[in-house]
Amino acid sequence: MTGEATNIHATAIVVAKTGLLFLGPSGSGKSSLAFSCLAAAKPLGLAAFLIADDRVLISNDDARVIATCPPSIAGLMEIRHTGIVRLPYLSEGDMHVAVRPVDPATADRLPPEDEQMEITATVRLPLIRLAATCANPLAVIMAKIGTSLG
């Protein structure tokens, strides 16, 4: 590892073999979008797991960005206005893409191509901006990264 883990405000999930790190301010829709992706994966026959919600420990080595869950919140996700739910989880997973919920009323219609996001001082990931109100975020993410996530 190139450094200690950094605690960030985010939600991390893995769908098939692709790690998705949802970042943004509190109330922006990170957990809702991540939950929608987890729910959409099941009927597609894709394995999908929560890594962590709200607090994610991010570290990296030469080739990997690793998200780890603090043990006290393992398997727990807060669905705003609904409460805490228990979900299948992994204690850690590789992250491949950052996802940032945006407000469609104020967001750029076409964000920059090949955009990157600095997650920590030593970690950058490709960024997908996604409307917080997106009806099928997993389909949009799959189209954007050009893979079936399998």
Q: What pLDDT shows up at residue 1?
A: 46
Cα–Cα distance for residue pair 145/128, rounded to 1 Å: 9
Please identify every stretch of the chain with a pLDDT value under 70, giving residue numbers as ranges: 1-3, 147-150
Query: What is the 8-class DSSP label of residue 107?
Result: S
Count of domains for the chain: 1
Q: Is residue 130 part of a domain?
A: yes
Q: Is residue 72 part of a domain?
A: yes
Q: Is residue 126 part of a domain?
A: yes
Q: Is residue 61 part of a domain?
A: yes
Q: Is residue 101 part of a domain?
A: yes
Q: Which domain holds residue 122?
A: 6-145
**Token digits for 5?**
């883990």
Q: Is residue 134 part of a domain?
A: yes
- Closest listed residue to residue 24, CA positions, set 131, 122, 124, 109: 131
72 by DSSP, 3-state: which? helix
Place of tokens 């099928």: 136
CATH of the domain at 60: 3.40.50.300
Q: Is residue 150 part of a domain?
A: no
Give the count of beta carbons closer than 10 Å to the beta carbon of residue 60: 20
pLDDT in tens, 71-106: 999 999 999 889 999 999 999 999 999 999 998 888
Q: Is residue 35 part of a domain?
A: yes
Q: Are 53 and 73 within 8 A, CB to CB? A: yes
